[in-house]
Amino acid sequence: MPPEPPVPSVLAALVTALRDGSVEVVDLTSPLSAATPVIQLPPEFGQTAVFELEEISRYDDRGPAWYWNNFRSGEHTGTHFDAPNHWATGKDLGDVASVPARRLIAPAAVMDFSAEAAQDPDFLVEVDHVKAWEAEHGPLPDGGWLLLRTGWDARSHAQEPFLNADENGPHTPGLSADCARWVAQESPVIGLGVETVGTDAGAAHSFDPAFPCHSYLMGSGKYGLTQLRNVAELPPTGAVVIAGPLPIVTGSGAPARVLALVERS
């Protein structure tokens, strides 16, 4: 009897593919600095902090051979992960440290509405848009992410174009209330990823319910990823997202490094 052929190692194949470029790593994360845009709530509410560095020492009297900083940040500052307990509807569900590690590596369905959002910054994705995408590309991935491409990352260099607010509030694209409910309650995805400052559309303060993505997703134990960039580099199907939020115990979310693995032929 000839010896059994060796079982091919998936991870060895991945390492080879990363090295030869047939699997590319796309960084979906916005850099964190004091200039990183943050959400602005009406003045009667508490506000999230902008990111700040506080130098401890820089090869000087305070530490001759080393440089390091303290930092201050909101949990929801920059590219970040929304945990279920972020919203009242999910208050008894998990904190960000409790998200199972295996759920942090998951396939992505990428839908491109950048043309629609360029025409109308208040553009809303409806269930029919998602169903049309599924008719072309197949069903949404079980346990995966729905990533919304809107072109909004091109505005992420500064607060004003990114929030795009006027006297009526912010104008940024997102999901309709009905679509948010469908994604949360009827689709198999674990969450929604967006290029905008939050998972909800800018006008979602006046939707029914208000902030339906937060309300329905968190209430269903699902997640959010925000302020993504480079989503344009992902194919409609086949990318694998690696989302790494800081495991802040009891936290409602955390800044995250978000990467995607993409197979290039």
Contact footprint for Mn ion (CB under 5 A): 76, 82
| Shortest Å, Cβ 31 to Mn ion | 18
| Shortest Å, Cβ 102 to Mn ion | 22
Indicate the residue among 87 and 133 with the shorter CB distance to Mn ion. 87
135 membership: H or E segment, kind and range: helix 127-137
Residue 227: is it exposed, middle or buried by C-beta count within 10 angstroms (0-12/13-18/19+)? buried
Spatial separation of the C-alpha atoms in residues 171 and 166, rounded to whole Å:
8
Say which DSSP state 217 is in: I
Indicate the residue among 77 and 164 with the shorter CB distance to Mn ion. 77
Indicate the residue among 77 and 114 with the shorter CB distance to Mn ion. 77
Indicate the residue among 107 and 253 with the shorter CB distance to Mn ion. 253
Q: Return the residue matching tokens 């993409």.
A: 262
| Shortest Å, Cβ 227 to Mn ion | 9
- Identified catalytic residue from 80, 86, 129, 214: 86
| Shortest Å, Cβ 179 to Mn ion | 19
Tell me the CB-side half-sphere exposure of residue 83, using CA atoms within 13 A: 25
Q: Report the C-alpha dihedral over residues 248, 253, 255, 260, rounded to 10 degrees.
A: 110
Note whether 196 and 205 are within 8 A (CB). Answer: no
| Shortest Å, Cβ 18 to Mn ion | 30
| Shortest Å, Cβ 251 to Mn ion | 11
Tokens of 46: 């508490």
115 membership: H or E segment, kind and range: helix 114-119
Indicate the residue among 107 and 255 with the shorter CB distance to Mn ion. 255
Work out the angle between the directed axes of helices 177-185 and 127-137 (0-180°, nearest 10): 50
Q: Closest-CB residue for Mn ion?
A: 76
The reply to whether 137 belongs to the active site is no
Neighbours of 45 (CB within 10 A): 7
105-112/169-170 β-pairing: unpaired
* Cα–Cα distance list, 93 to 33, 83, 84, 144, 247 (Å): 31, 9, 6, 19, 15
Indicate the residue among 106 and 225 with the shorter CB distance to Mn ion. 225
Say which DSSP state 86 is in: G
The identity of residue 82, as a single letter, is D
Give the residue numbers annotated as catalytic, written as ranges: 86
